[in-house]
Amino acid sequence: MPVQTIKERNAGKVGVVTIGATQEQGGTRTSVVKIGGESSLPFLHFEGEMPNKPVIAMEVVDRVPEEWNDEVKNAFTGVLDNPVAWAKKCVEGCGADLIFLRLQSADPELGNKSPEDCVKTVKDVLAAVGVPLAVVGCGVDEVDNKIIPAVAEACAGENLLLGFASQENYNTIVAACMVHKHNLIAQTPLDINICKQLNILITEMGLTADKIVLDTNIGGLGYGIEYAYSILERGRLGTLQGDRMLAMPTLGTVGFEAWKAKEANVSIEEFPGWGEQKERGILWEAMTATALLQSGLDLLVMRHPEAVKLVQKNIADLMEPSSV
């Protein structure tokens, strides 16, 4: 009896966002990253296109992240106080596709650095590595509304990915992205209705959909990952059905969420039943990433080199065309 493969016919697809610009394109990057373009559910190569593989951005902070787990910090011994060297290590040592630079030291309570200093950090990292950059602020809206536009202006041509636009605070950063031709991260709090509405508000300002990446917010493994999973899946299904206001590639701060979990951090002495902390922590981050790849994440922001290595392998395997 012949078996016919059931293939979904989809009306819509995820838009493609290009991050970075080479010399010919007006920037200084040696590589650019394209994300999105899927016309099927994740990795279903037999019924649709997946022209761009999911990519990994590694997180670099412009101050020593004292609060990070020692296991993660040990992986970057000697470069933690130097974002330039740190970024180089991520690219050269770990094969990061992008650098995700957090300008935390602009926070009045974490260094209160000026927009000029922030611009200098970004410029230095740009000079040190050839991969595209994502740059986000410190999380204090009034500060970020000064530093991100300054970065956008100083780095015009580099086609950065800038964050974050939120429902409460999006005008300034959207305008900066439009004027200086950068991409934008639209961040919403695990709520697909707000996600869609924010995209409408941003595109109504005039920034086109192919310059927007969605951070729908994720939960780490064991701490709400299933909400993130179902929202990403719902967004992809909506996209495939033709909903253009959800049809942007997605980003998830995997490292940030995974390493918040107690299970990633506590020692075997404290919880003997959980096993060694080192591999547990690495797997906590890697598992968070692999689960969310199955729900359609396009850009994973990660921390630990070993977790990155595992997920790179996972992505390479998943990108192999299936036998069907």
What is the contact surface with other proteins in residues (CB under 8 A)? 192-194, 196-197, 200, 234-235, 238, 242-246
Q: Which is nearer to other proteins, 10 or 159 (CB)?
A: 10
Edge-to-edge strand list for the sheet holding 161-165? 212-215, 183-187, 161-165, 133-136, 98-102, 55-61, 299-302, 251-252
State the nearest-atom distance from the C-beta of 41 to other proteins, in Å.
17
State the nearest-atom distance from the C-beta of 197 to other proteins, in Å.
4
Angle 12-14-18 (CA atoms, 0-180°, nearest 5)?
A: 145
Q: Which is nearer to other proteins, 222 or 238 (CB)?
A: 238
State the nearest-atom distance from the C-beta of 28 to other proteins, in Å.
38
End-to-end CA distance of the chain: 17
Buried b (16+ CB within 10 A) or exposed e, 292-305: bbebbbbbbbbbbb
State the nearest-atom distance from the C-beta of 186 to other proteins, in Å.
13
Q: Which is nearer to other proteins, 79 or 190 (CB)?
A: 190
State the nearest-atom distance from the C-beta of 54 to other proteins, in Å.
23
State the nearest-atom distance from the C-beta of 192 to other proteins, in Å.
6
Calpha distance 176→52 (Å, rounded):
27
Tokens 């993130």 identify what position? 228
Residues with Cβ within 8 Å of residue 206, at least 6 apart in sequence: 178
For the record, the structure tokens of 235 come out as: 């967004």
State the nearest-atom distance from the C-beta of 204 to other proteins, in Å.
9
Q: Which is nearer to other proteins, 206 or 321 (CB)?
A: 206
Stretch (H or E) spanning 35: strand 33-36
Q: Which is nearer to other proteins, 188 or 312 (CB)?
A: 188
Q: Which of 198, 180, 275, 276 is nearest to 235 (CA)?
A: 198
Q: Which is nearer to other proteins, 119 or 195 (CB)?
A: 195
Q: Which is nearer to other proteins, 4 or 193 (CB)?
A: 193
The 10 Å Cβ neighbour count of residue 185 is: 24
